[in-house]
Structure 1
Amino acid sequence: MKYLPISQDLFVHNRHHLAKHLKTSSLAILNSNDVMPTNGDGTMPLHQNNDLFYLSGIDQEESILILFPDARDAKMKEVLFIRETNEHIQTWEGYKLTKQQARDVSGISTVYWTTQFNDVLNTLMTEVEHVYLNSNEHQRAVIEVETRDARFTKWVRERYPLHKYERLAPLMHQLRAVKSETEVELIRQACHITEKAFKRLLSFIKSGVMEYEIEAELYHEFLRNRSRGPAYQPIIASGANACILHYTDNNQQCKEGDLVLMDFGAEYAHYASDLTRTVPVSGRFTKRQREVYESVLRVMKAATQMLVPGNTLDQYHAFVGTVMENELIRLGLLEEHDVRNQDPQKPLYKKYFMHGTSHHIGLDVHDVGDRYRPFEAGMVFTCEPGIYIKEENLGIRLENDILITSNGPVDLMKDIPLDADEIENLMQK
């Protein structure tokens, strides 16, 4: 892995907290993700199952974690299974974890080879009543490929049909939503790498440059700072492309007088960052571009102040909608009379601002969490308002990552240029 070692204390802490939420006489089982194939004999890089990583720190394929807090044999309270290496694997694939290295990373004392899993599980299943199985239950997920966890769920239920099976995902969503200090520092590091990348771009962007050339600069800066790469597919959208929310073709030329909307973020040690900036290709905003930019920025600043403990996403988004309405009236895009008489279920501002303002961020860029759960200290949200005016070929979005604390919101991207004058000055250097 490119990232620096993480203290095993993080994973020990996470397992301890999960164990407290399991029913008595229960074990939980989590599998690593598959190494996905391409064509021929090609494979994609492993992207580890984030729940397994959260609980173990293990970043290797064919790994399995069992948690059994009530085990009568203390050695079996936490059991890790890793792929056994050999000379052939070492020659063709290189480094794999030894048992001792797995102990050092995870803080788990009992480590077996994955080939021993069936025998160990068979013994443990005689002692338990409940079995927690892991699954991807993200509300935005479109799942068409069967995961290792999904295959295991079918196998274990067929082999042990009389046990009571439980969903692990709700517990993981509850725990992962609130970040520990170590997790916040890993997100900070991802944000810091993203900052370096954005500042690199300000001196690179000019009329005639291709969107993919901007994207290439991001990859360069990410990789040289120990990031595996982007936390999600970057959006580099110039001109009218900025009005396409998930534009990722990144194959058009940036033209004089246009803006370029860039939505990207570095990943570090599996933790995501998520930034959006919109800058003028020529280095100077036009009067209209600046006017819209300042409106988006005012909404962003107002929204950020609402990311405090006790608020909820529904209350928050209702507040942001009101602020956005006022800005759109100011810009001449909405009429005050029409807004007063609008259908509350179909607010007019949605024509120009059609997406949500915030989402959880952490191990996933759209991290897990309960949308109805009040905000708590330790949660990290994006703040990303935008205004998209298709008839003007103008789209502006601004986004930072915000840590909720008992003393108010903390902007983890406060050092990344945001003010229009500062951006213009840096682009002119």
Structure 2
Amino acid sequence: MPTNTEFCRRRQHLAEQMLANSICLIPAAQMVTRSRDTEYAFRQDSYFQYLCGFPEAQAWLAISNQANNPKSVNAHSVLFCADKDEEAEIWHGRRFGPNGAKKHFALDNAYSLDELDEQLLELLDGHDNLYFAQGHNADADELVFALLQALREAPKQSMQAPSNMVDVRPLLDEMRLFKSAGEIAIMRQAADISGKAHIRAMQSAKAGLNEYHLEAHIHHEFAMHGAKHPAYGTIVGSGVNACILHYTDNNQALNDGDLVLIDAGCELQGYAADITRTFPVSGQFTVSQGQLYQLVLDAQLAAFEQVKPGSTFKQVGDAAIKVLTQGLITLGLLAGSLRFNLDNKTYRQFFMHGIGHWLGLDVHDVGHYKIAGQDRPLQAGMVLTIEPGLYIAPDADVAEQWLGIGIRIEDNLLVTADGYDNLTQQTPKTISAIEALMTQTSLSKNIPTQVKSS
């Protein structure tokens, strides 16, 4: 978890970017009903998490730069949260309460949620601008608009509603795009844990197991290293299922001769890892599988060479696409010249998604990919994924040896001052490294075989 010093620094930086005499309101996430009187596991809103780290639902954070000294900008931070409640805590767990929250999270003040309406009216009063993420949280929208209307209709002539509402997301998105040393350390640890899980899945795979057995290995490995939850729905696609980009059924048997595509990453202290590896159930690639796999790996390495300050996502993607397209021509899956196929984007029948995305508190993290309509240059401190793939549908118009093969290789790269740092480099991905790893003895191979698919 980032330190209170870092949270304070973020709030201060936000306050300095806001227009003078502004206030920002950020709601926490809400509990979401799963079935009747049970809820899904709580996950804090990423913007709220980024600014204060408070872990409870239904809370609110207010940040004001209303200056007592016109020559300085100071971020005055106020939290609203649930009161301490002995009986409720017996059922639902301990709470910080306002006093505990103020103390533990270095806030200027904290109030009970019971005081939310009254205190927010007082806080909003007299500010010229309200920074708020309208549309991000419907319940929050309703409360904020009601408060603004109440201020406008207040009988006291001295009360004044902000006359200008500004979307706070562009400011926060840009801040979140550049990772601090503390964030990078957490993401490096998340990458390491996720890599261990992929290695365990490779060593555990054998014909007759089910995709969900590998999913269970992955999630168990996450938890054993302190990451209780995956960062997104884990994909374990064997055989033709690997050709479904967001396949999450994970309920089919593993068969000898098939590849398994696993796209999985843990969430650690709110930060995501996102790794994809593809490997053979048998531990040995067939000739055709190996040819396509090496092509995807070569494309990824070509993309890596473009990851440096000043390059763009388009340049990164174009490098991978050029290698993939030439390889598909060489192997006979595409016909014609390289220029013809690039111009007509014929490769998109086999590679139909982007080369990667930002990574951070969200697996598809915030941050603009273009500035003023132009591809933005990469800068040191950004973290992104690079994930080329090839997906040869079972009914594709190609030779039979290629049909039903799906391959993706994905790593997490930190842009540095002179290039990149691959946070996931310890997760094997060369053909020789994968085959060597899968021949090693693993106790998990003793899990009883389950042949039947659900």
TM-score range, shorter chain: over 0.9
- Does 2:149 align with 1:151? no
* Matched letter for residue 420 of structure 2: P
Q: Distance in 2 between matches of 1:153 and 1:304?
A: 45
Q: CA deviation at 1:308?
A: 1.2
Q: Distance in 1 between matches of 2:28 and 2:430?
A: 43
Structure 2, gaps ≥5 residues long:
153-160, 371-375, 395-402, 441-454
Q: Distance in 1 between matches of 2:345 and 2:252?
A: 33
Aligned to 1:318: 318
SS at match of 1:131: strand
* Matched letter for residue 382 of structure 1: T
Q: CA deviation at 1:199?
A: 1.7
TM-score normalised by the chain length of structure 1: 0.92
Aligned to 2:361: 363
Q: Distance in 2 between matches of 1:295 and 1:93?
A: 52
Aligned to 1:49: 45
Q: CA deviation at 1:43?
A: 1.2
Residue correspondence of structure 1 range 29-428 to structure 2 within 5 A? 29-72=25-68, 77-135=76-134, 147-160=138-151, 163-337=163-337, 339-342=338-341, 344=343, 346-372=344-370, 373-391=376-394, 392-428=403-439
Deviations 1:372-416 (A, max 9, x none): 132111000001000111141100100010000112110001111
SS at match of 1:402: strand
Q: CA deviation at 1:71?
A: 4.2
Which of 15, 23, 46 is the aligned partner of 2:19?
Answer: 23
Q: Using the TM superposition, name which of 211-220 and 152-161 deviates more.
A: 152-161
How many aligned positions are there? 415
* Matched letter for residue 345 of structure 2: P
Q: Verify the 8 A CA contact 1:8 1:104 in the aligned structure 2.
A: no
Q: Distance in 1 between matches of 2:435 and 2:50?
A: 41
Q: Distance in 2 between matches of 1:104 and 1:414?
A: 40
Percent identity of equivalent pairs: 34
Q: CA deviation at 1:232?
A: 0.1
Q: CA deviation at 1:192?
A: 1.3
Q: Verify the 8 A CA contact 2:117 2:147 in the aligned structure 1.
A: no
Q: Verify the 8 A CA contact 1:69 1:78 in the aligned structure 2.
A: no
* Matched letter for residue 426 of structure 1: L
Aligned to 1:140: none
* Matched letter for residue 13 of structure 1: R
Which structure has the larger Rg?
2
Q: Using the TM superposition, name which of 100-109 and 161-170 deviates more.
A: 100-109
Q: Verify the 8 A CA contact 1:197 1:217 in the aligned structure 2.
A: yes
SS at match of 1:365: coil
Q: Distance in 2 between matches of 1:356 and 1:183?
A: 25
Q: Verify the 8 A CA contact 2:309 2:418 in the aligned structure 1.
A: no
TM-score normalised by the chain length of structure 2: 0.87
Residues 93 and 325 of structure 1: is their aligned pair in 2 closer, same or farther, counting only changes over 3 Å? same
Q: CA deviation at 1:100?
A: 4.8
Deviations 1:90-147 (A, max 9, x none): 211121114454235432131222222222222222220100112567xxxxxxxx54
Residues 259 and 11 of structure 1: is their aligned pair in 2 closer, same or farther, counting only changes over 3 Å? same
SS at match of 1:404: strand
Q: Distance in 2 between matches of 1:156 and 1:407?
A: 50
Q: Distance in 2 between matches of 1:167 and 1:197?
A: 39
Structure 1, gaps ≥5 residues long:
138-145
Q: Distance in 2 between matches of 1:226 and 1:101?
A: 25
Q: Verify the 8 A CA contact 1:75 1:110 in the aligned structure 2.
A: no
* Matched letter for residue 314 of structure 2: D
Q: Distance in 1 between matches of 2:342 and 2:265?
A: 37
SS at match of 1:203: helix
Deviations 1:27-61 (A, max 9, x none): 00000111011232111121111000000011111
Q: Verify the 8 A CA contact 2:325 2:342 in the aligned structure 1.
A: no
Q: CA deviation at 1:427?
A: 0.6
Q: Verify the 8 A CA contact 1:222 1:230 in the aligned structure 2.
A: yes
Q: CA deviation at 1:343?
A: 7.5
SS at match of 2:35: coil
Q: Using the TM superposition, name which of 317-326 and 219-228 deviates more.
A: 317-326
Residues 426 and 363 of structure 1: is their aligned pair in 2 closer, same or farther, counting only changes over 3 Å? same
Q: CA deviation at 1:160?
A: 4.1
Aligned to 2:443: none
Q: Verify the 8 A CA contact 2:302 2:319 in the aligned structure 1.
A: no
